[in-house]
Amino acid sequence: MKFLALLSLLCLLLIGCGKTTADKPQSVDLAAASWEQIAAEARGHTVTLAMWQGDPLINDYMKSYVAPALQNQYGVTLNIVGSQGNDIVSTLMTEAEAGKEASSYDLMWINGETFYQLRQVNALHGPFVEKLPNAAMIDFGNRFINTDFQQPVEGYECPWGNVQLAIIYDTVRAPIPPRTRQQLEEYVKAHPGTFTFDNSFTGMTFLKSLLIDIAGGEQQLAGPFDSAKYATYSAQLWEYINRLKPYFWKEGKTYPAAVAPLHQMFANGEVNFTMSNNDGEVDNKVLQGIFPATARAYVLDGGTIQNSHYMGIPKRSAQKAGAMVVCNFLISPEAQLRKLDPNVWGDGTVLDVGRLPDEWQQKFRNVPGRKYAPPRQQIQPKALMELAPEYMIRLFDDFRRNVIQKQS
Amino acid sequence: MSSKSNLDRAGFLLFLLLAILPMAAGLLYAASYSVGLAGLLSEGFTWEYWGRPFQEGNQIFASFAFSLGVALAATAITLLVALLLVLTVRRSLDSGLLAHLSTIPLALPGTVLAFVILQWCSGSGIAARAAYALGLLQTPAQFPGIVNDQYGVGIIIAQVMVGVPFFALLFTQLWHSQRISQLMELAQTIGATRAQRAMRVAVPLLLHRAFPTVMLHLVAVIGVYEVPLLLGVQSPQMISVLTMRNYAMFDLQQKPEAFICAILYTLLSLLLIAIAWRRMHRMDHEQSA
Amino acid sequence: MSNQHRIFQNALVAAVGMLFAAPMLYLLLLSFAEGWTFPHLFPPRVSAGLWETMWGREQGLVGGLLLSILLSVVVAVGSTSVGFLAARYVSYHRWRRGLLFLSYIPFVMSPVVLGACIHVVFIRLGLVGTVAGVVIAQLMFALGFAVIFFVSFWNAERKSLEEAARMLGATTPQTYSRVLLPISRQPLLLCFLQTFLFSWFQYGLTLIIGGGKITTLPVLVYLYTGEANIYYAAGASILLMLPPLVMLWGNRAMAVRFGR
């Protein structure tokens, strides 16, 4: 008898848990609604945000600042879940394949190649950005913000932050870091086993920066994917990488799976360099005590890629109004300013500071400066545009085929 | 059948509903996806995807060979070490110090195990620091690649670490249930040396009785995920890691390959389970005979 | 036994014991360390700062701990009770062997690979990203184990005991409550503990079916081990290891049956 009781208890539990996701459907026509109507619609709802959760400082910004502020100011509950890039794409794809009505996510932190894939399978809601009152302050004249991997954003994703790839080194272990392809080759040959890059987003962005350098500047590869040009220049890139490969960490036979393990190895002294898609990350990591205080960041003479990261709303989201309210808050001067502080995150703003009210302009100019990363004005001239997303996807595949799997 | 109650039937139906049915549905879906009958990008029935494993540069078969090799090596080393321990320090494993300490590795989830091995065996890990302190090396790069290496040494170390206490405890129990002590005494009375007793009596008997468990262990090691995720290399990858990579790839065209992997892996597992299974039944007969 | 032999044996026991205990000791040390990088063989600085901030800043850990406990208890209770009954049905069935073989499939196969296959089924049922979904997915695997575990329990001896009870006029519920349950207490506990551990250790399956929303302790630990901060990873790992350690110490017999 105990078992029957236990069994029915279990069934009750399962049914009880299963119901938690039911939320009342949207009643407002978002395209026609005013912002007040949208905000009213959002109140009292929960927005599920899928984001990369690999950085405690970023998590802290979201959980201890953004979530409470949203709750207090707009009555919106923010539920943050861990998922990123291709995991998001595969989840939304599987949801579409299964014909699921309400998506598991309402808002997603994405960047170019995810944006491209989601547009490809028509999984994004939009255009919605012009509806956001704070969008008027976004620097949409900036080509690094209005275009994501050579694709016009067109209101299908909301800019959130802007960053540039930087190489991080330790001034004690590598007093004179290599600044060009030629110098890098000389360096790794003189110091075998001390350099590598990750086999993920950051490392591929590094390779893309080299590809642009090989092609002779970003104009060469601007515009839609050009397979002839890709074939020519990528062949030179692989030739270059394979020449250096025996001198990489682990003789180039394997690469860290993501940038965090590379950071760990740098912190541990196993390699002399790491890199970050966020030029300001070095400050954040030194402040956390993970990197030594002798760590510094710089960009290559040939330039490195600058890009923006964005917020997108899934087409199948049941909480689009709530998601828009969250976006609007994230691009408010208040939230953007806080994010800019290296003690908080150190993420570049997407706002056009000149368009802000005077008091905010003052505050943005007085953000505590970066100590370990170069000033933004210094690296801006070396910023390269992101290439069409196919370049990234091809680089991922071809790096595996032409470098990792190649027996040397 | 008077002994079958409705309660049992209800339990069995739940088992079918919760375990067998979803599993069958999942595998069926995998099969149809792999021939283009399911999926967002599907364009009708095709054998095209099944041709992919045979194309040059495809990783599927290499990954199976690698997984099988790692599992065989890990299991063989595990058995060797566990046998040695049982033959030398059985009493301590039974009720002494080792009886308590051997539970620690068993309480290590794969995630933590992999993390610890990485911290010990990487180029800047504890082992490398010890070598540095002894003056054997000056920089991390000089330390031999034990983790993230081509031969899966890191993965094997991790699997041996959890496998040894498990099999050592299993052998200790079998020692009792198979009355090996008595058999050894018997062998001694007919003049067998210490080595002979171990090699001719204890080891064959232990291995024979443990065979089904060994096979199941092999299947489990072939499918490990968390450990190679942290300790493996990008090529070749263990089956679970490769499957997940293909399942969630930037290139959406790779998804059918994930399901091909899953089906091939299921077939391989079934084969190995069947081998273990036959032996188990033969042993049941031996026992009752 | 010679003296020399005994010394050798004691040394071996000590060495093997050290190896077994080393992961736990290392993690403990690492969680108190600061700036412990190459070439320091021992931590240059020690501090309890991590343990102080861990609870404050990452509130997720407490939530993850509670969620993990809830999940593992539900999975263990569910699989033990259903497995107990289903195994009885299986062991008296004429297709006993075939049914038992089926149970071995979820028992040994990789939860991640099967998880990828059942992902779409679970989405269709609206179970992805819910606690219920993760419970059911884990039950799938735990049930396989429970059925195998109890089939060997329902042997001829139990059968004759049951028949004896019946001959004396006991009803089915009486047979259960007065005869079968009392003699099954030990195996039930064992099965409960093992399925609890299976669920407790699960990472990949929880990640797929939970869609990132169900952040159990293993999911959090993996998040930290993948991060640049190894001290956090060590602290979270210790939290993850404590419950299984207590359980395994409490009942060593189960350790042997617990394969993974």
* CB spacing of C122 vs B22 below 8 angstroms: yes
* ipTM value: 0.87
Let me know: does B250 contact A86? Beta carbons within 8 Å: yes
Alpha-carbon span B113 to C201, nearest angstrom: 11
Numbered residues of chain B with Cβ closer than 8 Å to any chain A Cβ: 7, 10, 14, 38-40, 57, 59, 122-124, 139-142, 145, 148-150, 229, 233-235, 247-252, 255
pLDDT band (50, 70, 90) for residue C59: low
Mean pLDDT check: name the lowest of A360-364, B28-32, B54-58, B191-195.
B54-58
Task: Summarize pLDDT for C195-229 with one digit per residue, the tens.
Answer: 998 899 888 899 889 887 888 888 887 777 767 77
Cβ atoms < 10 Å from Cβ of A284: 26
At residue B267, the 3 state secondary structure works out as helix
Query: Strand pairing of A46-51 and A107-110?
Result: parallel
Alpha-carbon span B96 to B100, nearest angstrom: 7
Task: Summarize pLDDT for C105-131 with one digit per residue, the tens.
Answer: 888 888 889 998 998 888 888 888 899
The more confidently predicted of residues C53 and A164 is A164
Residues 174-203 of B with CB under 8 A from C: none
Q: What is the pLDDT of residue A17?
A: 40
**Within-domain flag for C3:** no
Alpha carbon of C22: minimum distance to chain B alpha carbons (Å): 9
Tokens of C114: 């099967």
* CB spacing of B234 vs A254 below 8 angstroms: yes
Alpha-carbon span A173 to A293, nearest angstrom: 12
Q: Provide the domain limits for residue C101.
A: 59-257
Fold (topology level) of B60-242: MetI-like fold (1.10.3720)
Residue keyed to tokens 């002894």: B134
Among C12, C89, C118, beta carbon nearest to B11: C89
Among A4, A93, A249, beta carbon nearest to B40: A93
pLDDT band (50, 70, 90) for residue A405: confident
Alpha-carbon span C247 to C218, nearest angstrom: 17
Same fold, A29-162+308-371 and A166-307+379-404: yes
Tokens of B35: 């021939």
B3 secondary structure, DSSP code: T
Most confident by average pLDDT, A32-36, A167-171, B35-39 = A167-171
Tell me the sheet residues that pair with A297. A168
CA distance between the termini of chain B: 26
The one-letter amino acid at B133: A
CA dihedral of C36, C42, C48, C50, whole degrees rounded to 10: 30
- Angle, vertex CA B87, rays to CA B83 and CA B88, nearest 5: 120
Q: What is the pLDDT of residue C55?
A: 65
Element spanning C34, H or E: strand C33-34
Among C74, C78, C227, beta carbon nearest to A54: C227
**Within-domain flag for C11:** no
Among B23, B111, B213, beta carbon nearest to C222: B111
Q: What is the pLDDT of residue A4?
A: 42
Alpha-carbon span C109 to B261, nearest angstrom: 13
**Within-domain flag for C232:** yes
Residue keyed to tokens 């992101």: A386
Alpha-carbon span B74 to A278, nearest angstrom: 41
Interface check C226 vs A, CB under 8 A: yes
* CB spacing of C173 vs A1 below 8 angstroms: yes
State what percent of residues in chain A have pLDDT above 70: 93
Among B10, B14, B124, beta carbon nearest to A268: B124
* CB spacing of B98 vs C201 below 8 angstroms: no
Residues 54-73 of C with CB under 8 A from B: none
A80 secondary structure, DSSP code: E
Find the helix packing angle between B203-222 and B180-189, rounded to 10°: 140
Task: Summarize pLDDT for B27-41 with one digit per residue, the tens.
Answer: 999 999 899 887 777
Tokens of C31: 């969680």
Q: What is the pLDDT of residue C146?
A: 93
Among B22, B230, B273, beta carbon nearest to C108: B273
Interface check C3 vs A, CB under 8 A: no
Let me know: does B103 contact B97? Beta carbons within 8 Å: no
* CB spacing of C176 vs A1 below 8 angstroms: yes
Residues 5-34 of C with CB under 8 A from A: 34
- Stretch B244-260: mean pLDDT, rounded? 80
| Distance from the Cα of residue C130 to its chain's centroid | 20
**Chain B partners within 8 Å of C241 (Cβ):** 107-109, 112
**Within-domain flag for C166:** yes
**Chain B partners within 8 Å of A7 (Cβ):** 10, 14
Interface check C86 vs B, CB under 8 A: yes
* C-alpha closest to that of A383 among A293, A302, A278, A272: A302
The CATH number given to whatever domain includes residue C71 is 1.10.3720.10
Alpha-carbon span A119 to A21, nearest angstrom: 26
Residue B253 CB burial class (10 angstroms; 0-12, 13-18, ≥19): exposed
Interface check C39 vs A, CB under 8 A: yes
- Stretch C140-168: mean pLDDT, rounded? 84
* CB spacing of A265 vs B122 below 8 angstroms: yes
Residues 51-70 of B with CB under 8 A from C: none
Alpha-carbon span A265 to B118, nearest angstrom: 11
Mean pLDDT for chain A? 88
- Stretch A18-28: mean pLDDT, rounded? 48
Alpha-carbon span B196 to B191, nearest angstrom: 9
pLDDT band (50, 70, 90) for residue A13: very low
Alpha-carbon span B265 to B222, nearest angstrom: 9
Alpha-carbon span A405 to B55, nearest angstrom: 14
Cβ atoms < 10 Å from Cβ of B6: 9
Any idea where the domains of chain A sit in the sequence? Answer: 29-162+308-371, 166-307+379-404
Tokens of B201: 């009596």
Most confident by average pLDDT, A10-19, B29-38, B127-136, C86-95 = B127-136
* CB spacing of B39 vs A113 below 8 angstroms: no
Residue keyed to tokens 């994703």: A157
Interface check C95 vs B, CB under 8 A: no
**Chain B partners within 8 Å of A194 (Cβ):** 139, 141
Task: List helix spans (H) across chain B.
Answer: 6-15, 21-34, 48-51, 60-95, 97-101, 103-106, 110-121, 126-133, 153-177, 180-189, 194-196, 203-222, 226-231, 239-247, 255-288
Element spanning A108, H or E: strand A107-110
Task: Summarize pLDDT for A114-156 with one digit per residue, the tens.
Answer: 898 898 889 999 899 999 999 999 999 899 999 998 889 999 9
**Within-domain flag for C38:** no
Alpha carbon of B176: minimum distance to chain C alpha carbons (Å): 13
Task: Summarize pLDDT for C239-251 with one digit per residue, the tens.
Answer: 888 888 888 777 6
Contacts 24+ apart (CB under 8 A), C169-172: C172/B5, C172/B7
The more confidently predicted of residues C135 and A407 is C135
Does B49 have pLDDT greater than 60? yes
| Distance from the Cα of residue A198 to its chain's centroid | 15
- Stretch B85-102: mean pLDDT, rounded? 87
Does C169 have pLDDT greater than 90? no
Q: What is the pLDDT of residue A87?
A: 80
Alpha-carbon span B15 to B1, nearest angstrom: 21
Cβ atoms < 10 Å from Cβ of C3: 7
CA dihedral of A94, A97, A101, A104, whole degrees rounded to 10: 0
Does B90 have pLDDT greater than 50? yes
Mean pLDDT for chain B? 88
Tokens of C171: 């009803």
Task: Summarize pLDDT for A76-102 with one digit per residue, the tens.
Answer: 999 998 887 778 888 888 888 888 888
Any idea where the domains of chain B sit in the sequence? Answer: 1-46, 60-242
Total count of domains within chain C? 1
Q: What is the pLDDT of residue A5?
A: 45
* C-alpha closest to that of B223 among B202, B198, B247, B243: B243
Interface check B42 vs C, CB under 8 A: no
The more confidently predicted of residues A44 and B40 is A44
What phi and psi values does residue B66 have, to the nearest 5 degrees? -65, -45
pLDDT band (50, 70, 90) for residue C92: confident
CATH 3.40.190.10 fits A166-307+379-404, yes or no: yes
Tokens of A299: 């960009």
Element spanning A218, H or E: helix A218-221
Task: Summarize pLDDT for B65-79 with one digit per residue, the tens.
Answer: 999 999 999 999 999
The more confidently predicted of residues B245 and A304 is A304
Domain A29-162+308-371 in this protein, CATH class? alpha beta
pLDDT band (50, 70, 90) for residue B4: low
